């Protein structure tokens, strides 16, 4: 069964500190992997998109890594800010003739405290 | 402003009363999709549409209908809502099916009593 597992489920960090979120997947074959940020009560917003051939992708203080061999990805947040408090969702995409197949992880809820 | 809009944002209804949640995008995107989000389950796809008059089931289509008569609109229809359809619903669109970026709407919180 194609799955995307994220850890931890939730995380509390102090403002200014770094943190790393994990994503393990069994989706195969896959075309790309995305990390989304979802503020409470709002729709997800894309942070990074990586194809299977890319190892790392940055977007400001967010850096995603991908190891296609071990089927693992991580999202690193540098120098966290209060506005980073949100859920972070890992999504693995398979491109099929009948349309994209997106498999979502359950998300990691991050709370940044002052 | 490029965006995906959903209406209503909040809805409380009773079991069996038909309802429609509208979704509209102004980016001329071909691909549109509906998801529901439940605690502990993540986002799950209900239906998707690759273009006008082309729709297909996602992972959890039971109890839902969709239509795509125009490129910009993709309404979600619940003919006879039940309490297990209480959820947070998101519409999303993307330029094509080729792995391109998906843009999500703001969400519709539905409660069925």
Tens-digit pLDDT profile for residues A21-53? 999 999 877 788 999 999 988 899 999 989 888
Q: Which residue has the higher pLDDT, B98 or A77?
A: A77
- pLDDT recorded at residue B104: 94
The one-character DSSP state at A8 is: -
State the Cα–Cα distance between residues B62 and B82, nearest whole angstrom.
Answer: 11
Q: Measured between alpha carbons, how far is A30 from A51 in angstroms, rounded to an integer?
A: 9
pLDDT at B87 over 60: yes
The model's pLDDT over B27-61, given as tens digits with 9 standing for 90+, comes to: 999 999 999 999 878 899 999 998 999 999 998 99
Reported residue count of chain A is 114
- Indicate the residue of B40, B48, B99 with minimum beta-carbon distance to A32: B99
Q: How far apart are CA B66 and CA A93, in angstroms?
A: 23
Residues in chain B: 113
Q: Tell me how far apart the alpha carbons of residues A64 and B58 are, in angstroms, rounded to a whole number.
A: 28
Min CA distance, A14 vs chain B (Å)? 25
pLDDT of A41: 83
Residue A109, burial from CB neighbour count under 10 angstroms (0-12, 13-18, 19+): middle
pLDDT higher at A37 or B1? A37
Does A46 contact B at CB distance below 8 Å? yes
Cβ contacts of A106 on chain B, cutoff 8 Å = 40-42
Predicted confidence band at B101 (pLDDT cuts at 50, 70, 90)?
confident
Question: Does the pLDDT of residue B22 top 60, yes or no?
Answer: yes
The per-residue pLDDT of chain B, averaged, comes to: 93
The torsion angles phi and psi of A82, rounded to 5 degrees, stand at -55, -35
pLDDT under 70: residue ranges of chain A: 1-2, 96-99
Which residues of chain B make contact with A95, given a CB cutoff of 8 A?
A: 97-99
Closest CA relative to residue A37, chosen from A54, A59, A55, A17? A59
Does B44 sit within 8 Å of A99, measured CB to CB? no
Q: Output the DSSP codes for B20-66.
A: EEEEEESS--SEEEEEEEETTTEEEEEEEEEETTEEEE-S--TT-EE
For B10, the closest chain A residue by CA position comes to A41
What part of B 37-56 touches A (C-beta under 8 Å)?
40-45, 48, 50, 56
Looking at beta carbons, which residues of chain A come within 8 Å of B95? none
Closest CA to A108 of A48, A22, A26: A22
CA angle (A13 as vertex; A26, A22 as ends), nearest 5:
10
Q: Which residues contact B28 (CB under 8 A, 6 or more apart)?
A: B71, B72
């Amino acid at each position: 069964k194609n799955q995307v597992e994220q850890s931890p489920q939730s995380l509390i960090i102090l403002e200014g500190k770094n943190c790393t979120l994990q994503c393990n997947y069994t989706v195969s074959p896959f075309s790309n992997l995305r990390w989304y940020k979802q503020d409470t009560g709002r729709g997800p917003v894309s942070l990074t998109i990586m194809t299977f051939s890319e190892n790392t992708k940055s977007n400001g203080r967010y850096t995603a890594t991908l190891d296609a061999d071990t089927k693992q990805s991580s999202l690193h947040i540098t120098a966290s800010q209060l506005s980073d408090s949100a859920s972070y969702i890992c999504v693995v995409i398979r491109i099929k003739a009948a349309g994209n197949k997106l498999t979502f992880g359950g998300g990691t809820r991050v709370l940044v405290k002052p | 402003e490029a965006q995906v809009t959903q209406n209503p944002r909040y809805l409380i209804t009773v079991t069996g009363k038909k309802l429609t949640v509208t979704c509209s995008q102004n980016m001329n995107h071909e691909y549109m999709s509906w998801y529901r989000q439940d605690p502990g389950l993540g986002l799950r796809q209900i239906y998707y549409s690759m273009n006008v008059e082309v729709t297909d089931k996602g992972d959890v289509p039971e109890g839902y209908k969709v239509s795509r008569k125009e490129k910009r609109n993709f309404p979600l229809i619940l003919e006879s809502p039940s309490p297990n359809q209480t959820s947070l619903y998101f519409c999303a669109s993307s330029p094509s099916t080729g792995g391109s970026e998906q843009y999500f709407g703001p969400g519709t919180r539905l409660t069925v009593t």
